[in-house]
Structure 1
Amino acid sequence: METEVLAPAGSIEGLKAALYAGADAVYTGGRMFGARAYANNLSDEELSECIDYCHLHNKKLYLTTNTLMKQSEIYQLADWLVPFYEQGLDAVIVQDFGAFAFLKREFPNLDLHASTQMSVHSVQSAALLEKLGASRVVPAREISLEEIAAIRQNTSLEIECFVHGALCYCYSGQCLMSSMIGGRSGNRGRCAQPCRLPYVYEGKEQFWLSPKDICTLQILPEILEAGVDSLKIEGRMKRTEYAAGVAAMYRKYVDLYRKKGKEGYHVEKKDIQDLMDLYNRGGFSTGYYQRYHGVSMMSMKRQNHYGTEGAMLMEQRKGGQLTFKALENLQKGDMLESATVAEDVKKGRIFSMKVRDAGRLQKGGIWNRTYNAKLMEGLKEKYIGKILYEKIKGKLMIFKGKPVILTVTYDGPEGRITASQSGSIVQAAQKQPIAEERVRKQMMRTGNSPYLFEHLQVVMDEDCFLPMQSFNELRRGALEALQEKQLQAYQRKSDKSGKTGENSPEMEKVEAEKSANDGKQEKKAKLSVSIERADLFEEMLQIEGVKRIYLDSKCFLDFRMCEQIPSMAQRCQGQKKELWYIFPSLFRTKDQELWDQQMKQYMTCFDGMMVKNPEQIAYLEQIGYDGTWAADYNVYAYNKEAKAFLRNLGCSFFVCPAELTFKELKERDCDGDEMLVYGRIPVMTSTQCLKKSAGHCQKTPDLFKVRDRKGKEFPVKNCCSYCYNVIYNSVPVSLHGWSEEVRKCSPASVRLAFTTESNKEAAAVAKRFVKEYLWGEELGEPGYEFTRGHYKRGVE
């Protein structure tokens, strides 16, 4: 396919402006299941209108259904999508594994795009999704050009990559910070963006977790040569001028590359300046395409729109009167921070403004222009409210005694479409005959239709007459018939199987397995523990009641510790305990290579493997692993469809999602699964390194803390062997005193996750949960700060 410029659309106005500006496709959300719940999402009627509008202009519309779906929601998806599917919806963007499987079954002819929220980092997971039916993948924003090229070379998937706009600090789909702090889940489209807030690290308050926006115009040839098919612009919640302006800019440079190639490619400085004026955070970076991380990618001084440097403060007088020196040409209506410029000001000129609540400001301080009035007005005039037209040809035949006939022809990318319309009988003129030029002028007025006559042939008798109203009706009817024919090429019948609920083959298999296991499950759940430090192993081994020990990959950041694994396995076997391994949070190509060298040889020592992302599922299949594996809670088996999907891939059980309530977990069904009842939830996993950002990365694993504006401290681990940071919640989830509520969910095991605890603290917690959950003792408060997580409050 030719390179696609893909723009965000938060409204009909924005969609039309972006397409007029040169976008080939748009992505937008409807009233359900979109990852921008607070955007001005389209109503069903608006979405239907937009699908037709795109298709009439040979553009595409991709619908965002990229949230995790609860059991009570997932079967609403099919009924909602049916009319849009039949209308010709081009694709849906999906995060939820259950939604992916469900849509593939119900709408087999609908293209599925794997969202960046699926955390696809490598060839393995991309190839797995292709095998399962995806047509396009939107890989993690963090992957490099080299990794993109590998996906291109080893799959036939279309590749869509973000090229402009906001970056997340955390790998998309792996962030629980907004969820755990305030109950607004990024996985449900309600992220509160806590990463944009200030934090204190090493005694310094900055926006440590706020990346700059990306702008990739400078490296666009390299991105295209890596094999990217679709250039995605972030910004469904930004203003219409932004979407149109950025789309126009990328259209310009894609066309320039097509015309002149890499050698003739050059980016004008003014174009970067205009993009800066539209929106940026502390300047631009080129993202992760050519570098792994670094302080140059971070906007630690400012988390919101930076704009451009507009003026320098020269003097402050009483009453909020400020004197500035213009650092660039300013226009009336521009904003310097929150103050509006009252007149045009040339660069270098000294001028004054009165600023409300000026306070005490630093002389010599830079005031940024955060609104460029001339640029915004220009974009509004050029793109907003404009109508796209498709060129058509027509032939109008006017013969006395016969119906007037208009034939219109459209030559589109899929071939020629023709429609004819006959009208009233043409009369002989009694007084003034109709003139050809007048008829032509009347017929050329196509108004708000999507068409514009490129050529109109008029063949007519002399001395004939027909009212102008008849010609208007004829034209309207012919163009409507042409439009209907053009849209018919996209329309299709619903392929719904009719087996949308628990009667589907996948769900029948799950229910059959459940029935076969009924009566076999123990009344009390087994107790598992996971540890992130190898020195905790001995402590956990000696605790009676612990039946499974998970060794997290962080136990082996010093790879010399791997040599202890055979001995650990032998000792567990002697104590009749299972020993499992938990994969790293990330598993990119370089991580796999490292793992192959250091850990692969010890796989047979473990009773099972716990995976944390799609890469690892694909990896186990690739190497022919025939042992047992399970999916950790961040693989997101939110619903029964997701469980069935992953079971078909070989998953033996699931760790229950951390964002569902007890009620929602019961609806989802936890039989055979594991539930986290204690542990600090990792709320962010990032390739950015706080130590590197602070300027002293020593490539040594460490545990440290960042503090938020409310004084809450969040532990951070830098996992240097795999080069990523994990930020944990400020307090652990603890379900002490709730053993009965947990039991009603019927998990096969409950899990204690030890992350930052000392040996003494971990042992005390483990012994407490053994007494309560296994022996039924009633105990008082635990003596540590905790949260109940989402088990009662849930997320929207």
Structure 2
Amino acid sequence: MIVNGNEIEILAPAGSFENLKTAILSGADSVYFGLSNFNARRNAENFSSFEDIKEAVDFCHLRGKKAHVTLNTLVYDNEIQDLVKEIEVINKAGFDAIIVQDLGVINILKQISKVPIHASTQLSVHNVSDAKKLKDMGFDRVVLSRELSLKEIKRIMDEVDVEVEIFIHGALCMSVSGQCYFSSALGERSGNRGLCAGVCRLPFYVREKGRYDLSLKDVCYIDYIEEFANMGIASLKIEGRMKSKEYVKSVVSEIRNKIEFGKYNKKLLKDVFSRSGFTDGYITGKRNNMFGIRSEEDKSYTKAAIEEIKSKDIYEDKVKVDIKYDFTLGKNSYLEMIDEDNNIVSVKGDIIEEAKNKPTAKENIEKNLLKLGSTVYEINDMEGKADNNIFVPISSINELRRNATDKLDKIRISKFPVYDIGKLIKPKDKSRPIGGKNIAVINDINTLNEFILDYFDETYIPLFELNKLNKDLIVKYKGKLGVEIPRVYFDEEANINKNLLKAKELGIKKGLAHTIGKIAMLDELDFEIMTGFGTNITNSYSVDLLEKEIHNLKNVILSFENTINNINKIKSNTELSIIVYGYLPLMTARNCPVKKEIGCKNCNKKQSLNDRIGKKFRVKCNGQTSELYNTYPLCVFDRLNKLDSDINKIFMFNDENKNDIKNIIKHYENSELLNDSTRGCYFRKLL
């Protein structure tokens, strides 16, 4: 679509073939969908057989539309063979883009596929450094985090020359995408593995029971299309691979209406699916009144709206063709077809014979050539000649027309490339360094003391709390000290850079970061780098990519959404670490659930959310984001004999006091499990 002279794509969800057809015929420029595995909506109908996949892709390409495939989940080493098979299908089907989260999948795609790669919103792309590094790594497009404002989006676009895609309509997650572990912590389903259990839609409250303090309204940013186009945004993405075809039809159609006619039916969109209406809090930067639930009233509106949408016809934008024909006596009939993209086909039919009885009139020939109803084409212009005293069977005219459209179909589809599978180099012959270190990561500087600094081989403190640390301690322990960049940081990154330079001046050389852009910032300043759990590393190919991209990589904290058995098999030339103790952050949210219910003035920074069975989840706010922590700490002290001895052990401390920490270390040294703790995902199956 063209808006204010700028081309902008309407990208629609296709959880099934029926929804795909509905999206394309309603006017979407592209669709995105998943195959059997490795996609973030594994519970959607999706597409499985190659025949179904190829049919879906060809359906798009025939109409000049694009098909994007989602390969946007975390992958384990024992799944790589199946992943490669799926990539081979993607290559042969002719997809236009692959949407990716896992760094290991990126590594593999760069070796065996030539399909353009788009960075999924699951990569938590929320600042300039993230977009810049992903562009440098070969990404053709980045899908930005949904929490960004217009101003923040513009800052990224002004500083990074990469295609940008944003969500224009649909559901909001409470957590920054890629940084939510709630589902896997409470069950065996991971959002990062495509099976989010939707925990944030359940009741949670601070003081008042019956509230839903983690449930956000859906977004509808259709009113901002002109601003998006003027900024140069490439694609407007609609969320909803689990939604109905009526939802897809209505959202695509109303976006088209806004672009073409300057108005749209927002009430219809609210009725077809919303959670107590819509919010534009993130895009405006005014994050008020953003919470909502799917009420019974909403559901009743949806039922009526779907019936209304079903009654509306879809008017497909057909491909315009010009036709030239020649029906000259004694010669083969001839038909030439030229489409709007200047693809030309010509076909010949039977030799034209003289009429013995009633001749075939030119008008009847043209009438039958016009019968393109079941095809993707419609006549723009037609010209030709036909002798007067000729006879042409209707079946002959129809066959000529069908042969021409079939031939044109094949040419149009062939314009989209398909690829053979490339050769994959496995990350073998690697020698993991001898580690076995004990490393502390301190969330609150007030927790830090000399006991911690003496006991642990390395200790990381929050970057922005470095100025609170006693300078004598820095001088004494600077060889052990490191700084941690906030996992999510929406402000200008000059603040990060300034504080990193200050840390270097103080003699601190170690840095910890969780997103690829912040890791690159540390690399540029020659810090010794440990990558955080927020990087979501679950396989050898991810580590291999980090080793290729990050010069000063020293240590990789592996995802806690993995089993010890899988972790031990990860190949690396770099030290590896896992979290063995700590209250795991289950969500990182830009919208504070405590603020929603009681306000900042009534918060003593020690609030908790309660679930429906009385479990408490600590909430900690840093001014930019709120972290929601698990009820019980992760603790695997009693099973560390199952972990390879050269893997480092990470202890995450929040607000534990000195006695708490001494007790934790005592249990660790005695290989004893702490009371009221959890072993997390390390020793159970995660789907």
- TM-score normalised over the length of structure 2: 0.93
Q: 2:381 is paired with a residue of what secondary structure?
A: strand
Q: 1:279·1:306 contact (CA, 8 Å) conserved in 2?
A: no
For 1:155-166, what aligned pairs fall within 5 Å after superposition?
155-166=160-171
Q: Which amino acid aligns with 1:537?
A: L
Q: CA deviation at 1:2?
A: 0.2
Cα distance in 1 for residues equivalent to 2:266 and 2:453: 62
Q: 2:16·2:47 contact (CA, 8 Å) conserved in 1?
A: yes
For 1:509-524, what aligned pairs fall within 5 Å after superposition?
511-512=429-430, 514=432, 517=433, 521=434
Q: 1:6·1:25 contact (CA, 8 Å) conserved in 2?
A: yes
Cα distance in 2 for residues equivalent to 1:305 and 1:76: 42
Q: CA deviation at 1:116?
A: 0.7
Q: 1:587·1:615 contact (CA, 8 Å) conserved in 2?
A: no
Q: In the alignment, is residue 380 of structure 1 matched against residue 310 of structure 2? A: yes
Cα distance in 2 for residues equivalent to 1:121 and 1:458: 58
Q: CA deviation at 1:471?
A: 2.2
> How many aligned positions are there?
677
Matched with 2:334 is 405
Q: In the alignment, is residue 226 of structure 1 matched against residue 137 of structure 2? A: no
Q: CA deviation at 1:59?
A: 1.4
- Give the 3 Å change call, closer, same or farther, for CA 395–595 of structure 1 in structure 2: closer
Q: 1:66·1:115 contact (CA, 8 Å) conserved in 2?
A: yes
Cα distance in 1 for residues equivalent to 2:358 and 2:256: 51
Q: Which amino acid aligns with 2:476?
A: R
Q: 2:94·2:419 contact (CA, 8 Å) conserved in 1?
A: no
Matched with 1:629 is 529
Q: 1:482 is paired with a residue of what secondary structure?
A: helix
Structure 1: give runs of 5+ residues left out of the alignment.
257-264, 308-336, 338-368, 773-778
Q: Which amino acid aligns with 1:571?
A: K
Q: In the alignment, is residue 433 of structure 1 matched against residue 389 of structure 2? A: no
Q: 1:702 is paired with a residue of what secondary structure?
A: coil
Q: 2:132·2:517 contact (CA, 8 Å) conserved in 1?
A: no
Q: 2:179 is paired with a residue of what secondary structure?
A: coil
Q: 1:192 is paired with a residue of what secondary structure?
A: coil
Matched with 2:468 is 561
Q: 1:64·1:94 contact (CA, 8 Å) conserved in 2?
A: yes
Q: Which amino acid aligns with 1:408?
A: M
Q: 2:12·2:32 contact (CA, 8 Å) conserved in 1?
A: yes
Counterpart selection for 2:29 from 24, 30, 41: 24
Matched with 2:637 is 736
Q: 2:220·2:279 contact (CA, 8 Å) conserved in 1?
A: yes
Matched with 1:371 is 302
Q: Cα deviations across residues 139-197 of structure 1 (Å, max 9, x unaligned)?
A: 11111111211222222211111111111110000000011111210001110111011
Cα distance in 2 for residues equivalent to 1:83 and 1:675: 34
Q: CA deviation at 1:75?
A: 4.3
Q: 2:338 is paired with a residue of what secondary structure?
A: strand
Q: In the alignment, is residue 118 of structure 1 matched against residue 123 of structure 2? A: yes
Matched with 1:423 is 349
Q: In the alignment, is residue 102 of structure 1 matched against residue 111 of structure 2? A: no
Q: 1:484 is paired with a residue of what secondary structure?
A: helix
Q: Cα deviations across residues 412-444 of structure 1 (Å, max 9, x unaligned)?
A: 2xxx11111112222233333323333322232
- Give the 3 Å change call, closer, same or farther, for CA 636–421 of structure 1 in structure 2: same
Matched with 2:206 is 201
Q: CA deviation at 1:598?
A: 5.1
Q: 1:149·1:227 contact (CA, 8 Å) conserved in 2?
A: no
Counterpart selection for 1:79 from 85, 96, 102: 85
Q: CA deviation at 1:105?
A: 2.6
Matched with 2:379 is 453
Counterpart selection for 1:391 from 307, 320, 326: 320
Counterpart selection for 2:568 from 647, 666, 677: 666
Q: 1:371 is paired with a residue of what secondary structure?
A: helix
Matched with 1:278 is 272
Q: 2:487·2:534 contact (CA, 8 Å) conserved in 1?
A: no
Matched with 1:297 is 290
Q: 1:176·1:683 contact (CA, 8 Å) conserved in 2?
A: yes
Q: 2:569 is paired with a residue of what secondary structure?
A: helix
Sequence identity (%): 30
Matched with 2:153 is 148
Stretch moving more, 223-232 or 237-246: 223-232
For 1:230-269, what aligned pairs fall within 5 Å after superposition?
230-256=235-261, 267=263
Cα distance in 2 for residues equivalent to 1:72 and 1:411: 48
Q: Cα deviations across residues 38-94 of structure 1 (Å, max 9, x unaligned)?
A: 111123322211211212222111111111111122343343233443443111111
Structure 2: give runs of 5+ residues left out of the alignment.
1-5
Matched with 1:528 is 439
Q: 1:134 is paired with a residue of what secondary structure?
A: coil
Q: CA deviation at 1:543?
A: 6.1
Q: 1:206 is paired with a residue of what secondary structure?
A: coil
Counterpart selection for 1:551 from 461, 469, 494: 461
Q: CA deviation at 1:464?
A: 2.4
Cα distance in 1 for residues equivalent to 2:207 and 2:438: 38
Cα distance in 2 for residues equivalent to 1:663 and 1:512: 18
Q: CA deviation at 1:541?
A: 3.1
Counterpart selection for 2:70 from 64, 68, 81: 64
- Give the 3 Å change call, closer, same or farther, for CA 151–530 of structure 1 in structure 2: closer
Matched with 1:358 is none
Matched with 1:329 is none
Cα distance in 2 for residues equivalent to 1:637 and 1:473: 57
Q: Which amino acid aligns with 1:625?
A: L
Matched with 1:212 is 217
Q: 1:292·1:687 contact (CA, 8 Å) conserved in 2?
A: no
- Give the 3 Å change call, closer, same or farther, for CA 394–227 of structure 1 in structure 2: closer
- Give the 3 Å change call, closer, same or farther, for CA 154–681 of structure 1 in structure 2: same
Q: Cα deviations across residues 516-537 of structure 1 (Å, max 9, x unaligned)?
A: x5xxx26xx2222222233432
Q: 1:148·1:228 contact (CA, 8 Å) conserved in 2?
A: no
Q: CA deviation at 1:460?
A: 2.0
Cα distance in 1 for residues equivalent to 2:589 and 2:610: 17
Q: CA deviation at 1:491?
A: 2.4
Matched with 2:476 is 571
Matched with 1:611 is 513
Q: In the alignment, is residue 187 of structure 1 matched against residue 192 of structure 2? A: yes
Q: In the alignment, is residue 679 of structure 1 matched against residue 616 of structure 2? A: no
Stretch moving more, 67-76 or 191-200: 67-76
Q: 1:57·1:390 contact (CA, 8 Å) conserved in 2?
A: yes
- TM-score normalised over the length of structure 1: 0.80
Cα distance in 2 for residues equivalent to 1:77 and 1:444: 46
Matched with 2:683 is 792
For 1:323-338, what aligned pairs fall within 5 Å after superposition?
none
Q: CA deviation at 1:701?
A: 7.1
Counterpart selection for 2:522 from 615, 620, 632: 620
- Give the 3 Å change call, closer, same or farther, for CA 589–497 of structure 1 in structure 2: same
Stretch moving more, 12-21 or 729-738: 12-21
Q: 2:483·2:511 contact (CA, 8 Å) conserved in 1?
A: yes
